[in-house]
Amino acid sequence: MGTGKQQRRGDTRQRIQDVALELFAEQGYEKTSLREIAERLEVTKAALYYHFKTKEDILTSIFDDMTRPIDELIEWGKEQPRTLDTKRAILTRYSEILTNAAPLFRFMQENQATMRDLKTGESFKDRMLALLDILRDDDPATPMTAQVRCFSALFTMHGGMFVLKDADGDPEEKRKAILEVAIELVTQAHHGA
Amino acid sequence: MGTGKQQRRGDTRQRIQDVALELFAEQGYEKTSLREIAERLEVTKAALYYHFKTKEDILTSIFDDMTRPIDELIEWGKEQPRTLDTKRAILTRYSEILTNAAPLFRFMQENQATMRDLKTGESFKDRMLALLDILRDDDPATPMTAQVRCFSALFTMHGGMFVLKDADGDPEEKRKAILEVAIELVTQAHHGA
Amino acid sequence: MGTGKQQRRGDTRQRIQDVALELFAEQGYEKTSLREIAERLEVTKAALYYHFKTKEDILTSIFDDMTRPIDELIEWGKEQPRTLDTKRAILTRYSEILTNAAPLFRFMQENQATMRDLKTGESFKDRMLALLDILRDDDPATPMTAQVRCFSALFTMHGGMFVLKDADGDPEEKRKAILEVAIELVTQAHHGA
Amino acid sequence: MGTGKQQRRGDTRQRIQDVALELFAEQGYEKTSLREIAERLEVTKAALYYHFKTKEDILTSIFDDMTRPIDELIEWGKEQPRTLDTKRAILTRYSEILTNAAPLFRFMQENQATMRDLKTGESFKDRMLALLDILRDDDPATPMTAQVRCFSALFTMHGGMFVLKDADGDPEEKRKAILEVAIELVTQAHHGA
DNA sequence: TATGAATGAGAGTTCATTCAT
DNA sequence: CATGAATGAACTCTCATTCAT
């Protein structure tokens, strides 16, 4: 209904990011060619290069926009006392972040090999470790199982998103169940288990 | 001398699989070219095609060899009563399988996007679901959290492998800690939590 | 402050030529992109097209400005008697022209393949032949060696510029030595050797 | 007459070098695309990559074959006494080398900007300097003009090839004239002029 | 006097794959 | 049991150029 090329002006950069993430998540980073992205947008490949310096740059730019909430969460977490309440809050907020940026996290989950040699991947790993640092206690007496529980909580949340995608049931209910289990894991760890 | 090309006769097929898995795990499936594999083996690309029909075929053959233990485990599990002991045994044996074929599972973990459109990937996913089916009870009254706990157990074991790779501590100890947490999760699920 | 964009007004055309010649001489014509030129000037590529019709046009314009002295020299030379003194004067003045427009001549020296299919290149070659015509005598009895000596004189002057650039010694002294040899070559030619 | 694809087997590498040099000399290195080379040979671009690792590698391989005579000449020259006879012999033999590999030297002459950032170019420059070192005397009292005469001799020979290409007269006669002038220049230099 | 946005053509390069020998 | 030679399709990326604003 008239939303043709007119409305597109000025938002091309954004549209590239959207379509790219869509395809990256759908097919993987390596298997998605710039030709595909361009075709789906009905622009030329060269147009992509007007807005982004390289293919990797497209991906990076998507991350930059979407990982800001995580950085804020980490910063906030670092300033809080290491209480169980803090940890619960971290997980709760992280669960929301995950939900809001689901395609991006699905992409990461499924393209770890690719992420590994992208600068962006490296920095994301650092963020995860920072979150882990907040969840677990630095006490050297902390048993190994407690550490396992903590990363298990994180993994459960990440994995849950797209595993339960296929399962039946209300998405919101599923999300809450995942969060609940994650919180429980961290709670046990907090109590030294 | 003597360990040169002489000894190599006849085991080329095996050597291709070894090197291929090594590289696939290291760099990802898409980013590993047949040229690289051939070069590292000091044979020509064409030689690979004598032993395998396609690139995908190399990967598939590796899986065929290595997933047999899982199939046996599933078959065994299906015939057992759905007791907690059975589930514990499943997890314990699965932990060993994972350890024995670590590079392969690391590969799967990091190349999910690739796995998705390989026939092999599909069938592996089926195996995972079969395992899940044994771990969780089919009772429709089973709460969602119980289901989450089950796949969380599986995810924890998968993820643990290469997350704890970087962490300090004795590998065997780490493996046991992971298994312990996984069993606990399934136990809770078994009790309807 | 004050030497910023303010002072630049109106001399953009000149600045483009300067930067372009700089880069053309440094990297060659083909390997210098308009993007580079624009970036170094902190303007957009499109701005270049406001001032010049094509890339080649930029180069041509530089030549037009800088080859005028040569045209004047040729014109002057044609009107003079073909004495040895005239030839000496030609070489002396040409040596000065070369020194004043060193980057341009370095560019030509090193980009002959490019020059060949530029209209400008063709016309420059004509100029060289015109100079040669003045230096050598048209007498059909002139031995081949005399002709060789004449173009050798020209070549020596051209090549000297950037060969001796690396050598040690005072630049002005080197220039004089080159001129001296060139004059000697033409002198010998003039005397029929 | 039956010299179709049959005869071509096994000499593809050589044919690529031949055609490449032909085109490089004709149009310049940058302006010659691999597509052109491939088309003229009636093979695909990929075939070129079977025989050579990169475009630059094609050029390098041509040089490797053709500069061997120069290396031998330099080696020979270094072992000789620095007499005038030696220098004359150097020039004479160099003149023959130049004639035999005329297209290559024409290419170098006209693509100096390109040569400059090729490893091959660097090493060729070294060879020229080595030749110069033999021609000129290391005596610090040697006047600048003597040095100029020496490189002028070399330049004259290089330049002569393709300048006199257009001129009228017997090629062999022209070559001899050039050689004569070059020898004279070096002779004068040798006598301290 | 310039810019922002885009294009079409083409570059060099790599890939999985084939097949006669 | 393997190689040498080649292909076709695709890739990422760069270029000179255009044009409405």
- Rounded, the Å distance between the CA of D15 and C1' of F4 is 17
* Contact indicator for D90, D135 with CB cutoff of 8 Å: yes
Chain B within 8 Å of A89 (Cβ-Cβ)?
A: no
Give the residue on A whose Cα is nearest the Cα of B164.
A148
Chain C within 8 Å of D160 (Cβ-Cβ)?
A: yes
Residue type, A95: S
Q: Which of A47-51, A113-117, A142-146, C156-160 has the highest mean pLDDT?
A: A47-51
**Predicted pLDDT of residue A2:** 40
Q: What is the Cα–Cα distance from A193 to A30, expressed in whole angstroms?
A: 42
Interchain proximity C147–D167, CB inside 8 Å: yes
Range with lowest mean pLDDT among A146-155, A167-176, B29-38: A167-176
Set of chain B residues whose Cβ sits within 8 Å of the Cβ of A161: none
Please report which confidence band the pLDDT of residue D2 belongs to, taking 50, 70 and 90 as the band edges.
very low
Chain D within 8 Å of C47 (Cβ-Cβ)?
A: no
- Rounded, the Å distance between the CA of C55 and C1' of E13 is 27
**Predicted pLDDT of residue D83:** 94
Range with lowest mean pLDDT among A37-41, A74-78, B164-168, C75-79: B164-168
Interchain proximity A160–B152, CB inside 8 Å: yes
**Predicted pLDDT of residue D42:** 96
**Predicted pLDDT of residue A162:** 74
Chain C within 8 Å of D151 (Cβ-Cβ)?
A: yes
Q: Is B164 helix (H, G, I), strand (E, B) or coil?
A: coil
Asked if residue B168 has pLDDT above 80, the reply is no
D window 50-79: Cβ near strand E (< 7 A):
53-56
Describe the crossing of helices A84-100 and A68-79 by its angle, rounded to 10 degrees. 180
pTM: 0.89
Q: What number of residues does chain A have?
A: 193
Q: Return all residues near D157 (Cβ < 8 A) that are at least 6 apart.
A: D91, D94, D95, D98, D178, D179, D182
- Backbone phi, psi, residue B149, to 5°: -60, -40
Q: Both tokens of residue D20?
A: 């490449």
Q: Please, what is the average pLDDT of chain A?
A: 89
Describe the crossing of helices A119-135 and A144-163 by its angle, rounded to 10 degrees. 130
Q: Quote the DSSP letter at residue C140.
A: T
Of residues B28, B145, B181, nearest to A114 (C-beta): B28
Of residues D114, D148, D177, nearest to C28 (C-beta): D114
Chain B within 8 Å of A180 (Cβ-Cβ)?
A: yes
- What is the SS3 string spanning B74-142? HHHHHHCCCCHHHHHHHHHHHHHHHHHCHHHHHHHHHCHHHHHCCHHHHHHHHHHHHHHHHHCCCCCCC
**Predicted pLDDT of residue B65:** 84
**B61 against C66, higher pLDDT:** B61
Q: Both tokens of residue A15?
A: 């549209």
Q: What is the pLDDT of residues A32-53, one digit of tens each?
A: 999 999 999 999 999 999 999 9
**Predicted pLDDT of residue D135:** 93
Asked if residue A157 has pLDDT above 90, the reply is yes
Please report which confidence band the pLDDT of residue A9 belongs to, taking 50, 70 and 90 as the band edges.
low
CATH homologous superfamily of domain C1-53? Homeodomain-like (1.10.10.60)
Interchain proximity B148–A177, CB inside 8 Å: yes
The protein residue nearest nucleotide F11, judged by CA to C1', is A33
**Predicted pLDDT of residue A122:** 86
Q: Both tokens of residue B137?
A: 């009870």
Interchain proximity D112–C114, CB inside 8 Å: no
pLDDT (tens place) for every residue of chain C, 193 residues total: 444 444 555 799 999 999 999 999 999 999 999 999 999 999 999 999 999 999 999 999 999 888 899 999 999 999 999 999 999 999 999 999 999 999 999 999 899 999 988 888 888 888 888 999 999 887 777 888 999 999 999 999 988 877 777 777 788 889 999 999 999 999 999 998 7
Interchain proximity B113–A28, CB inside 8 Å: yes
Q: Measured between CA atoms, how close is C27 to chain D, in angstroms?
A: 6
**Predicted pLDDT of residue B2:** 41
Of residues B107, B112, B145, nearest to A110 (C-beta): B112
**Predicted pLDDT of residue D1:** 40
Q: Return all residues near C130 (Cβ < 8 A) that are at least 6 apart.
A: C74, C78
Range with lowest mean pLDDT among B104-108, C157-161, D59-63, D113-117: C157-161
Interchain proximity B148–A116, CB inside 8 Å: no
**Angle subtended at Cα D110 by Cα D107 and Cα D112, rounded to the nearest 5 degrees:** 95
Please report which confidence band the pLDDT of residue B9 belongs to, taking 50, 70 and 90 as the band edges.
low
* Contact indicator for B114, B28 with CB cutoff of 8 Å: yes
Please report which confidence band the pLDDT of residue A146 belongs to, taking 50, 70 and 90 as the band edges.
very high
Q: What is the Cα–Cα distance from C47 to C43, expressed in whole angstroms?
A: 6
Q: What is the pLDDT of residues D4-25, one digit of tens each?
A: 444 455 799 999 999 999 999 9
Asked if residue D162 has pLDDT above 90, the reply is no
Residue C46's nearest nucleotide, by CA–C1', is E3
Q: Please, what is the average pLDDT of chain D?
A: 90
Q: Measured between CA atoms, how close is C167 to chain D, in angstroms?
A: 10
**Predicted pLDDT of residue A169:** 78
* Contact indicator for C70, C127 with CB cutoff of 8 Å: yes
Q: Measured between CA atoms, how close is A69 to chain B, in angstroms?
A: 24
Set of chain A residues whose Cβ sits within 8 Å of the Cβ of B27: 113, 117
Please report which confidence band the pLDDT of residue B5 belongs to, taking 50, 70 and 90 as the band edges.
very low
Residue C30's nearest nucleotide, by CA–C1', is F15
Q: What is the Cα–Cα distance from C180 to A187, expressed in whole angstroms?
A: 93
The CATH code of the domain at D62-192 is 1.10.357
Q: Which of residues 14-43 of B touch A (CB under 8 A)?
A: 27-31
The full set of domain ranges for chain A reads 1-53, 62-192
**Predicted pLDDT of residue C179:** 96
Q: What is the Cα–Cα distance from B69 to C63, expressed in whole angstroms?
A: 78
**Predicted pLDDT of residue C163:** 77
Set of chain C residues whose Cβ sits within 8 Å of the Cβ of D173: 144
